[in-house]
Amino acid sequence: MLDKNSIPRLVVFDNKDARTMVPLAFISEVLGYEVGYDELKRVPYMNSKKDVEKPEDEVERPDQTDSRTLVKDISLEKGSSGQYKIVIRSNEKLKYDSRILTNNKLVVDIKGAKLDLEDSDLSSINLGDKNINKVEFKQHSEDLVRLTISMTDMLDYDITSLEDGKTNVISFVNKIDNILLDKMYDRDVIVVEGKDRIQYKTMRLHNPERLVVDILDASLSKGPYFNFDYQLGPIERVRVSQFQPDNNYSPYDRIVRLVLDLREGTNPNIIIDNVVNKLVIYPEKSLADFVYHSLEGKERILRIKNEESVQYKLTNYPERKTLEVRLPYVATEIVEGQMYIKDNLVEEIIAFREDKDMVIEIKYNKSILYESLSNTTAGDIILRIKRNQDIKPWDRLIVIDPGHGGSDPGAKSVNGRFEKDLNFSIGLKLNEALKAKGYNTLMTRERDEFVDLYDRANMANDSYADIFISIHGNSIGNNTSVKGLEVYYCSENKTHIEDELYPLAKSIYDELIKATGAK
C-alpha cells in the first residue's frame, strides 16, 4: 500500500497488462469505498460504494424491522411455599400455546418470538425438585421459541402474566375443584376439595370479623370468584377468589383465598383439619351456635336455640342491668361462653352453669322493655327487647363537648377572646344546669387541654351517651353586623336515625332563640 501523498505509478506485467497503483486512502476518501484489513485472513479488502452506501429504504436494520417478541430471560424462582416457578421475561406480551405429552413433559410454544438471552449458550436448567427435573429451551423455528419442561409426574399447571404484561410465570398448582357444606364428625362442616394435599396459611381480620385461609400454589378450576351462603354457627358466609399476591407473598405465587365472614360479637375457635386432599373447616362449639341476635327496626330479637322443649324462667334485674334466662342444665346443649353484642342497648350475653341450671345473662346499658315471644315451655326461646322511652332524667347521659382547647385555641373574637375559652365557659354552665335537672353528664374536657376529635367521639360512644352536644363559636372577622345561631345535626344520608336528630336540633335551636333573643 502506498502513502496517500505518493505519486501514482504505472505497473506493467510480463503479459503486457498494466495497472496504476494508487493509495488506499484515496480509494476510501475520494471514491467513498470501504477499505479495511481482515486480520483473520491477513489480507486487505475493499467494498464498492454501492455495497457501502445503500439507499435508506434498502438498508438492513435488524433491530428495527424484526417484529418478533424477544424472550430476554428464563429462570427458576421460588414462591412463598418454597416451590419453584418458571419465570419468562420478554420485551412485550407473549402469545403461546401449551400442551402436556404422555412422557410427563410440558411443552410451551411461544409464537412470533426470538430467543434473546444474555447468555446465548444457555439452553437448559437442571433442577430435580419434587415437580421439575429439567427445563429446556431453544429457537425451534425462525419465529417460535419452545420450552420443554420435564416433570416428575402428570401435574396441573397455570401460566399467568404479572401486571407489567412482560413477565409470565409457569406454576404447578393444586386445582381446587369444590367448596361444599357437608357432614362429618356428626356435625356440619365446610369442605375444600383439591387434587393434592393442601398447604395453607391463616390470619384473623377485624372490623368486620373474618378468618382468612390462603391456599398456596393453588388455582380455582371453575372460575375466579365464588360466594357461598354457608351458615355454620358463627360462620355466616364463605367467599372464595383467586387472590392477587400482596406484600405478604411473592409476586409469583398462585393463591386461592377463602374468607369466612364471622358473626359480629363472636370470637370462635375455627378448626381446620387437613385430610388427604381436603380441608375440613368447622367452628368449635360456642355460645354463638345457640344464641342469635338481630335488629328489627329499634327492637332487638334474641333467639336461644334448644332442640327439645324445656321450661325456663325469665327475670329482669334493673339494678344490675341484667335480663336472666334460667333453664335446667340437663335439658340443653348450650355451652358456657360469652358474646359481645354492643348494639347501643345490649352489651353482651354470658352463659354459665350454676348448680343444676344453665344461666344466660343478657347485659344491657339502658333501661329496657322486654317480652317473651315463646311459651315458658318451649324449644327455642325468643325474646324481644327495646329501649324504654318512659324513663327519668337520671337514666339519660348527655355528653358536653367544649370545642378546641389547649394548643388549639380555635377562632378569635373581635375583642380578642379565644373560642376555646368561650366554649369551655358555656360548657360548664350547661353541665351545671343539666345536673340540676337530674341528668347524668360527661364533659369531654374539664380544663384547658387539647383533646383529639376521635377521642371526643369515642368518649360518647364508649359511654353509650344519649346525646352528644359540641359547642363552638364561628369567626366573623371584623364584620360586626353578623349575628345569629347555628345548630348542626347529622344529615339524612349519613344516619338511619335522622327522624330523631332533627327534632332534637330544632328544639335546641328554638329554645336558644327564646333564651338569647338572637336573630
Between β-strands 322-328 and 313-317, what pairing exists: parallel, antiparallel or unpaired? antiparallel
Question: Into how many domains does the chain fold?
Answer: 5
Contact 424, 445 (CB under 8 A): yes
The one-digit pLDDT tens for each residue of the chain (519 residues) are 555 556 666 666 666 666 677 666 666 666 667 666 555 555 666 666 555 444 555 544 545 568 999 999 999 999 999 999 999 999 999 999 999 998 999 999 999 999 999 998 899 999 888 899 999 999 999 999 999 999 999 999 999 999 889 999 999 999 999 999 999 988 899 999 999 999 999 999 998 999 999 999 999 988 888 999 898 889 999 999 999 999 999 999 999 999 999 988 888 899 999 999 999 999 998 898 899 999 998 899 999 998 888 899 999 998 889 999 999 999 999 999 999 898 889 999 999 999 999 999 999 988 899 999 998 777 899 999 999 988 888 888 999 999 999 999 999 887 889 999 999 999 999 999 999 999 999 999 999 999 999 999 999 988 888 899 999 998 877 777 778 889 998 876 665 555 678 888 999 999 999 988 887
Shared domain check, 275 and 202: yes
**How many C-beta neighbours within 10 Å does residue 172 have?**
23
Shared domain check, 191 and 168: no
The CATH number covering residue 411 comes to 3.40.630.40
Shared domain check, 212 and 133: no
Which of 250, 283, 316 is at the close of a domain?
A: 283
Is residue 516, in this structure, part of any structural domain at all? no
In degrees, rounded to 5, the angle at the alpha carbon of residue 52 between the alpha carbons of residues 48 and 53 is 115
Is residue 63, in this structure, part of any structural domain at all? no
In degrees, rounded to 5, the angle at the alpha carbon of residue 64 between the alpha carbons of residues 61 and 65 is 80
Is residue 422, in this structure, part of any structural domain at all? yes
Is residue 429, in this structure, part of any structural domain at all? yes
Shared domain check, 292 and 231: no
Is residue 144, in this structure, part of any structural domain at all? yes
Is residue 2, in this structure, part of any structural domain at all? no
Contact 235, 188 (CB under 8 A): no
The CATH number covering residue 226 comes to 2.60.40.3500
Is residue 192, in this structure, part of any structural domain at all? yes
Shared domain check, 477 and 426: yes
Shared domain check, 375 and 335: yes
Shared domain check, 118 and 199: no
Shared domain check, 90 and 46: no
Retrieve residue 187's grid coordinates: 356435625
**Residues contacting 319, CB < 8 A, separation 6+:** none
DSSP string, 199-246: -EEEEEETTTTEEEEEEESEEESS-SEEEE---BTTEEEEEEEEEPP-
The span from the CA of 240 to the CA of 227, in Å, is 6
Shared domain check, 26 and 48: yes
Which of 387, 402, 420 is at the close of a domain?
A: 387
CB-facing half-sphere around the CA of 125: CA atoms within 13 A: 18
The domain of 463 spans 394-482
Is residue 210, in this structure, part of any structural domain at all? yes
Which of 283, 312, 330 is at the close of a domain?
A: 283
